[in-house]
Amino acid sequence: MSRPLPLVLAQAARRAADDLDGLAADVRTRTAGLPAAPLIVYPELHLGGPVGDTTPLPAEPAEAFAEPLDGPRDRALAQIAGDLGVWLAPGSVYERAADGRVYNTAPVYSPRGERVAAYRKIFPWRPYEKVSPGAEFTVFDLDGIGRVGLSICYDAWFPETTRHLAWMGAELVLNFVQTSGSDRAQEVVLARANAIVNQLFVAGVNCAAPVGTGRSLLVDPQGNVRSEAVGDSDTTLTDVIDLDEVANVRRLGTAALNRPWQQFRPDDQPLALPLYQGRMDPATWAGATAPAPLPSPSTGSRTAPGEARMP
């Protein structure tokens, strides 16, 4: 069985918040000649405000460039995805909620020209990032292909984020990044670690210079780096990943050895987790992520992505 997903990681320089025509042209260029309906991913706050040395950011860019999620920007992004027939993850944007709070939010649009997901960053980079934290993990389904989870930059430093997305059935996690400091080296390690311990694909897409330090990468469910931008210049990483690799690794084990999603048995005792005032319960551990049964030789069927199933 195979579930191919054409993937485009755009390590791009930040674009002016209102440069949606430029974004559309960039999407067209980066996806030209690729298979139909690729998923194209841009960095955190790619539409983050003014660019260039002559137009400095305002003191509070989040306040200056925030708009409601369903505003004109949203309609324009949906139209770009629909017109070009792509799955568009344009990076995160500043969202002004109905209560006046501003969030760092990552929307995703389908080739039908519809917004299919929006994730508010749960772990802003405090004390530097002046936005409100989100409160919900977010996954979405690629029609007939699989399930994708969303995280934004500093979220990757909290293992609970990727673990919960995996538990919700994510087979690929997109981590939108705007890192300009020396800690990109650690983030590359975290991308591999999150892929290994959760047995899924991780795509970490950072900004190009002058805002970001680059080093975008794609990691497979065994922690191998499939592709990586070696520097901070504008770069496009393209690949076709097979999401069935996630099910295979979870069923057969990382390096044919380790199967953490099959760790617990129904008669095991729950493990108390005082930090969360909760517990790790064998009855709910597998969630939507336990390995699917081997395909039947007669039918070739497999369990649908995201369907809850126990070992």
pLDDT single digits (tens) 55-69:
555 667 888 889 999
Half-sphere exposure in the Cβ direction for 306 (13 Å, CA) = 15
**Domains of the chain by residue range:** 4-249
pLDDT, position 286: 80
| Residue 59: both structure tokens together | 């003191």
Q: How far apart are CA 147 and CA 151, in angstroms?
A: 14
At a CB cut-off of 8 Å and minimum separation 6, what does 200 contact?
Answer: 162, 166, 170, 171, 172, 173, 221, 246
Closest CA to 51 of 249, 214, 208: 208
The tens digit of pLDDT for each residue in 153-207 reads 999 999 999 999 999 999 999 999 999 999 999 999 999 999 999 999 999 999 9
What's the distance, Cα to Cα, between the start and end of the chain in Å? 20
Q: What is 4-249's CATH number?
A: 3.60.110.10
Using CB atoms within 10 Å of the CB of residue 56, give its burial: 0 to 12 exposed, 13 to 18 middle, 19+ buried.
exposed
pTM > 0.85: yes or no = yes
Distance CA 3, CA 1 (A): 7
